Amino acid sequence: MEVRERKAQTPLKEKLSDHYRKRDFTPKKKDVSKLGIAFFWGMTISLFLESVFYLIPHIYSGWNMVIFILLAIFTLFLTTINWMGMFFGSTGFVDKELSKKHFPQATETPRGWKYCPTCQVDAPPRSFHCTHCNACILKRDHHCFFSDSCIGFYNQRFFILYIVYMVWGNIWALYLQITYLNDVYPLNSFYDFFSFFPLVAIVQFLLGKFSILNAILMIQIPLCCLCLCAAVFFLLFELMLILKGVTSYESHRTGPIYDQGIGNNIRSVFGPIKTIPLQILFPLFRVDQQSDGSQWEITKTKGH
């Protein structure tokens, strides 16, 4: 009882610094993250090839076929560009120059900033150390499994657009796969449905009833459903956090909140709002950030 009372009286600031001290800053092995990259590209390339060379030519003909093949190429292009924006785009590694730029006279860590013992730099508010990247990241949201890179101040817009194209790509792939299968193997009874289960499809392939490509399709359909559900969840979750002005890191931790109002929160990720439709269709469209990601105004503090 006495222990619980003492714990409740500990000031929030002390609890946070205690939490920060106890964190494990040992750099993580990268092998697991590489699996995410392999899964994403394996799915993307196989879906693209089977759509362009197999499904679209089977379902459509003439100009319709040409238009849908071009649409598939355009979808692959946009997905790739946004993925590269996440992977190669600067996530905003915090360097020594950042604090010097804003506090040239400072001799110790500026107020509201924190010293990172691993990077040995003064890091601004909202930046956090990532053990996968082994660096402090400006406005760190999370470390993305599918690109093995941190999502932060400079590349969050690419991440959102990447999920938008994941949602679109999986919906379209599922439509093509199901339309094709419905044509080749029409369901005559309820029990035929079970022949589409991945394990049953593999057995059917081994028995010579399904071609290898059809068996692959039936394994991909549940994977596409899984990716679609995950992409829709992440898209809605991330958009909700952007509107509320918090990162996913801040959403499950206590501490300061930097909610600047819905309009400014959106602008801090995407730049001017009127450019968002252009960014969706032309990901190479350049949008300059309105700040350097180090100046944030605290609007409230989230307690327990």
Residue ranges that bind Zn ion, judged by CB under 5 A? 116, 118-119, 129-130, 132-133, 136, 143, 150
- Beta-carbon contacts of 269 under 8 Å, excluding residues fewer than 6 positions away, are 156, 157, 160, 242
Q: How far is the CB of 254 from Zn ion (least distance, A)?
A: 21
Q: Can you list the alpha helix ranges (DSSP code H) found in the chain?
A: 2-9, 12-22, 31-50, 56-59, 62-88, 96-102, 156-184, 198-206, 212-244, 248-251, 262-270, 276-281
Please pick, among 116, 136, 144, 227, the residue that the annotation labels catalytic: 144
Question: Do 127 and 136 form a contact (C-beta atoms < 8 A)?
Answer: yes
At 8, list the tokens: 């409740």
Q: Give the shortest CB-90-to-Zn ion separation in angstroms.
A: 13
Nearer to Zn ion, 19 or 209 (CB): 19
- To the nearest whole angstrom, how small is the minimum distance from the Cβ of residue 303 to Zn ion? 26
Q: How far is the CB of 81 from Zn ion (least distance, A)?
A: 21
Tell which residue, 237, 223, 282, has the closest CA to residue 39.
223
Take residue 243 and report the two structure tokens written for it.
């509107």
Q: Which residue has the tokens 């898209």?
A: 235
- Element holding 288 (H helix, E strand): none
Radius of gyration for the chain, computed over Cα atoms and rounded to the nearest angstrom: 24
For Zn ion, which is the closer residue by CB, 142 or 157?
Answer: 142
Which lies closer to Zn ion via its Cβ, residue 30 or residue 209? 30
Our measurement of the distance from residue 261's CA atom to the centroid of its chain's CA atoms, rounded to an integer in Å, reads 23
Q: Tell me how far, at minimum, the Cβ of 149 lies from Zn ion, in Å.
A: 6
What are the tokens at 289?
């950030």
Contact between residue 205 and residue 219 where contact means Cβ atoms under 8 Å apart: no
Taking the least distance from each CB to Zn ion, the nearer of 39 and 145 is 145
Residue 130 CB, shortest distance to Zn ion, in Å, is: 3
Residue number, 144 or 215, with CB nearest to Zn ion: 144
Other beta carbons less than 10 A from residue 5's beta carbon = 8
Sign of CA dihedral 130, 132, 137, 143: negative
Q: Helices 156-184 and 212-244 meet at what angle, rounded to 10? A: 150
144 is catalytic: yes
Rank residues 130 and 216 by Cβ distance to Zn ion and give the closer one: 130
Which residues are tagged catalytic? 144
